[in-house]
Amino acid sequence: MLTSLSWEDARVRRSFIRKVYSILSLQLLVTVSIRCFLHNILGSGLLQRTKTLSMSYVTGMLSSYYNTTSVILCLGITALVCISVTIFSFQTKVDFTSCHGVLFVLVMVLFFSGLFLVILIPFQYVPWLHAVYAALGAIVFTLFLAFDTQILMGSRKFTLSPEEYIFGALNIYLDIIYIFTFFLQLFGTTRD
C-alpha cells in the first residue's frame, strides 16, 4: 500500500508504530485470554468428559451393529493387546518416542488407504482390502499406544509435563478406542 505521508515526519512514524503495537497488543490479549479459557476448561476436565461421552456414544453405536459375541471377543483382544503393550512400553529400552516420523508415515498410509476405500466401496466392496485396512489401523494405533505410554513415563526423548495429565489420559483413551474399533472391523461379524 503506497501512501503520500512522509516517513520523515516523526509524528507520522510514532503514530504508525503506536497503531501497530496497539493492534498487536489486542491480538496478544485475545490469544492469551483464549489460551487461559481453554486451559481452565481442560484443567477442569470438561473437554475430556465431552470427548469421552462422544466417543462412548459412537463406539456404542458402532458396536450395536455387530454380534454380541464378536464385541466381547474384540473387547478381550483389545484388553490383552493394550495390557501387553503397556507392560512392554514400561519394560523396554526401545524408545518409541523417537519414532514419531515413522508414526507419521504410517498414519499417512492409513489415511490414504482409508480415502481409497471410501472411493472404491460405492463401486465394489472388497472384503480382503477392508481387512488389510483394519489390520493396518490396529497396528498403527497399537504403536501409538506404546508411543503415548512412553511419553507419560518421562525420561525419553519426548515427555509430558506433570500438568498435562488430562492430555495424556485422553491420548491413551483414544488409542484404546481406535484399537477396539479396528479389531471390531477385522474380527467382528455383523448382526443378521
User: Quick one: 120 and 38 in the same domain?
Assistant: no
Residues 180 and 125 in one domain: yes
- Do 36 and 86 belong together in one domain? no
* Same domain flag for 54 and 124: yes
The domain of 131 spans 47-187
Domain-located, residue 192: no
- If asked whether residues 75 and 11 sit together in one domain, one would say no
- Each residue's pLDDT, cut to its tens digit, for the chain (192 residues) gives 445 556 567 787 788 778 877 887 788 777 777 766 766 665 566 777 777 888 888 888 888 888 889 989 998 999 999 999 999 988 888 888 888 899 999 999 999 999 999 998 888 888 888 899 999 999 999 999 999 888 888 777 777 777 777 788 888 888 999 999 999 999 988 876
Number of domains comprising the chain? 2
Q: For Cα atoms 39, 40, 46, give the angle at the middle one, nearest 5 degrees.
A: 105
